[in-house]
Chains A and B, each alone.
Chain A
Amino acid sequence: MNEFIPLMVIIPIACALLLNLFHKKDKTVILMGIIVAIVLPIIPLIANYGLHYFGGHAPLITNSTLLSTLPSTIQNSALALFHPAVTYSYGALQKIFIFILGIIAFFAIFNSLSQNKKVSGPLMFLMFMGTAAVTAILLSDDIFHMYIFFEISALTQTGIILTSKTENNYETALKYMILGSIGGPLLLLGIGFVLGAVGSVNITDIVYAISHNLVDPLSPTLLFAFGLIFFGWLYTSGLPPFHTIKSGVYSKALPNASVLLQAFTVIIFIAIGIAIFRIFSYLPFFKTLIVVFSLIAMVLGVTMAIMQTDFRRMIAFLAVGELGYIGLGFGLATKLSITAGLFQAVNELVITALLFIGFGTILYLTKISDTRKLGGMIQHNSIVAIMVLIGGFAMAGVPPLNGFQSKLMIIQASLQSGFPEISIIAILVSIVTFMVFMKAYHSIYLKPKPNDLVGADKLVPRSSIAAIAILLIICIVLGLFPHLVTDNISQFAMGLI
């Protein structure tokens, strides 16, 4: 029994609730926020791998004295193996993702602390709450528990949009909630179908029941459940048809908060994606569906990104398009491709965070996000400009950086599984990604400065520079030594297949 596992969720929730008690004592709040934000990435490093059963209710099979007192119908059936409690499983994959999430949450919180005048208040609360919810989704081995925390994270995402004073943020928030309230209950309905078929919501139990033919794997109930859960997954992760609203959500939040929003989306994508993969990968059309939706996401994300004029919307669409690469990894379903997809998820977390913080400094300096009205910002702070440029290279997959490694792995995986078309599309999309990034970069930094551009007399905040630099270092380190991450992930991928 490892006590650190639930702490990863409890600490941010407790911090979120306690922070606003110290309203007006700004120093206490800042100190507390920073300490918790530092602790967040440290806990996953010191925790041991293992399972945590809430309330100590382990499966009956592990407790032979209790099992012997029960009727023999229970002893001999699968009930003895089923998990009665909510189970958190903590392994190598969770360690990497929670660590990266912790780092990103730290920078998001640190930046918004240093750039906002009001330190306590709803934004901090929502950031910590969302981090806790997403961590719980990642750790949980219980599909209903995932749904509950997903709904919490959706509420916090709405809240984060509402706290930004961007134009039309309320409209976007309401649209997101209405679409979400169509997607969410359908996801719940799908979980209900699985519950009706198997009688348990624990993913390990469901997999056991299906693989041991306790239920008919091709029964209409499970098929219908798969359809609904898959649709819910599309909604939770912003794949098409939900890519427009997801990119709208990213672009309506403050850039520092968008960093967290995209991290939430990526982690929810992989967590629920892994759950679906574990349960339903036996279905014959499972892989095809995921590949098709990933390809649509990549193409639509990238083509829509070119046509935007708001740079936040550009990065938002690019972030949605990059999700397609992760999906490809799941869809090809070989060991290499899943490793590549999850590695791409790690890279996307880091790179998109870098780009949002980097371009966020422009918004901080000028309060303008329209690329047509910007220009010549490289004079202002060339170091940040160059670091953002390298970040963009990483996103597009330029050799020594991490995006290159993961995209190369995906291309290799698709070639190995006999789909050269997919690798061609992947290369094409990454070229266009590069073009989109260069378009945004050129019109913000390199174009001659428009005469009416004012307000660039402030300095770029040091916290942003530090965040960009550290994220860039992570990019380069992961690019040079990808096995730091891929070794762990490939073990996990081996277990998944």
Chain B
Amino acid sequence: MTDILLILGDTQLMSLFTAAAFIVVGLFAAIFLDNIIKKIIGIAFIEEGANLFIVALGYKAGGVVPIFLPGMSADWFAANSAYPLPQALVLTSIVIGASTLAVMLAISMVLYKKYGTLSASEILGDKKTQTLAEKNAGDNNE
């Protein structure tokens, strides 16, 4: 019981577990789900997990935010602040993730207009799927 409490109290370890859970769930969604939007959401989860992982690396239990305020001594700050480098990196990668997501959603909107479905196995499989235009042409012929 005390072990579990110790683990639960360790914020860094728990954050790493959370990040792992995000990545696993995201990979599952990106690989096994058929709907393109859900695949894209899964990808967003993977990216979120990676970000959380990197930020959690810089955490220091009982530390302070890495902002150097007047009145702090340099030695104390160096010993007690969280590591700021991972945070700086994650800022960039959040933005990259969002832009990738936006591009993918835009492409899936175009593909929906063409095929009338969001199923990845129909749109992105190797079999030729009828586009909406072809379907309409077929209906008119009948």
Q: Are A and B in contact, CB atoms below 8 Å, in the complex?
A: yes
A residues whose Cβ falls under 8 Å from a Cβ of B: 70-71, 73-74, 144, 147-148, 151-152, 155, 158-159, 162, 170-171, 173-175, 177-178, 180-182, 184-186, 188-189, 192, 195-196, 199-201
Count B interface residues, CB 8 Å: 37
Given A188-B50, A201-B85, CB of A174 within 8 Å of CB of B107: yes
- Pick from B43, B75, B100: contact of A71, CB below 8 A: B75
**Cross-chain contact B103 with A171 (CB below 8 angstroms):** no
User: In the complex, how many angstroms separate the beta carbon of A200 from the nearest chain B beta carbon?
Assistant: 8
Interface residues of B in 63-87 (CB under 8 A from A): 74-75, 78, 83, 85-86
B124 touches A174 (CB 8 A): yes
- Quote the shortest CB–CB distance from B21 to chain A (angstroms): 14
Inter-chain CA distance A184–B104, complex, in Å, is 14
What mask results when residues 20 to 56 of chain B are scored 1 for a CB within 8 Å of chain A, else 0?
A: 0001000100110000100110010011011001100
**21 A–B contacts, CB within 8 A, in A order:** A147-B93, A148-B93, A151-B100, A152-B96, A155-B100, A170-B114, A173-B107, A174-B107, A174-B108, A174-B111, A174-B124, A177-B100, A177-B104, A180-B100, A182-B27, A182-B46, A184-B100, A186-B50, A192-B53, A199-B85, A201-B85
Tell me if A185 and B50 are in contact (CB < 8 A): yes
A192 and B54 contacting across the interface, CB-CB below 8 Å: yes
A189 contact set on B, CB distance < 8 A: 23, 50, 53
- With a CB–CB cut-off of 8 A, which chain A residues contact B6? none
Asked if B110 is at the interface of the complex by the 8 Å CB criterion, the answer is yes
Asked whether, in the complex, the Cβ of B89 is within 8 Å of the Cβ of A181, the reply is no
Contact of B54 among A74, A175, A178, A188 (CB under 8 A): A188
B51 to chain A, nearest CB (A): 8
The binding surface of chain B is classed by DSSP as helix
The answer to whether B92 touches A148, judged by C-beta atoms less than 8 angstroms apart, is yes
A148 to B100, alpha carbons, bound, how many Å?
A: 12
A-contact 0/1 string along B121-136, CB 8 Å cutoff:
0011000000000000
Instruction: Report how far A144 CA is from B36 CA in the complex, Å.
Output: 29
The number of inter-chain residue pairs (CB within 8 angstroms) is 92
Q: Are B85 and A170 in contact (CB under 8 A)?
A: no
Closest 10 CB pairs of A and B: A181-B43, A192-B54, A185-B50, A196-B57, A185-B46, A188-B50, A174-B107, A151-B96, A189-B50, A185-B47
B99 at interface (Cβ–Cβ under 8 A)? yes
Taking a contact as CB atoms under 8 Å apart, the answer to whether B104 and A178 are in contact is yes
- A195→B104 contact, CB < 8 A: no
A155 touches B110 (CB 8 A): no
A73 to B77, CA, bound (A): 13
Chain A nearest CB, measured from B45 CB (Å): 10
- What's the minimum C-beta distance from A59 to chain B, rounded to whole angstroms? 15
Closest to B92 in A: A148
Distance between A235 CB and nearest chain B CB, rounded to angstroms:
13
Complexed CA–CA distance, A162 and B107 (Å): 9
Given A148-B93, A152-B96, A192-B50: 16 more A-B contacts, CB < 8 Å: A70-B74, A71-B75, A148-B96, A151-B96, A151-B100, A155-B103, A159-B103, A170-B114, A171-B124, A174-B36, A174-B123, A178-B40, A178-B43, A185-B43, A185-B49, A201-B85
Q: Which residues of A contact B97 (CB under 8 A)?
A: 185
Minimum Cβ distance to chain B for residue A429 (Å)? 26
Q: How far, in whole Å, are A152 and B36 apart by their CA atoms in the complex?
A: 22
Given A171-B123, A188-B54, A195 and B110 contact (CB-CB distance below 8 Å): no
* Nearest chain B CB to A232 CB, angstrom units: 11
Which residues in A have their C-beta under 8 angstroms from that of B46?
A: 181-182, 185-186
With the chains together, A186 CA to B19 CA distance in Å? 12
| List of A residues within 8 angstroms of B99 by Cβ | 155
Contacts of A175 in B (CB 8 A): 124
Which residues in A have their C-beta under 8 angstroms from that of B83? 199
Contact A195 B85 (CB under 8 A): yes
Cα distance A200–B100 in the bound complex, in angstroms: 26
Complexed CA–CA distance, A162 and B111 (Å): 12
Please, how many angstroms separate the alpha-carbon atoms of A22 and B5 in the complex? 63
Cα–Cα, bound, A159→B104 (Å): 11
Determine which of B31, B40, B110 lies in contact with A170 in the assembled complex, contact meaning CB atoms within 8 Å.
Answer: B110
Residue on B nearest A182 in the bound complex, by CB: B30
How far in angstroms is the closest Cβ of chain A from B122? 11
- Tell me the complex Cα distance, A200–B85, Å: 8
Distance in angstroms from B134 CB to nearest chain A CB is 13
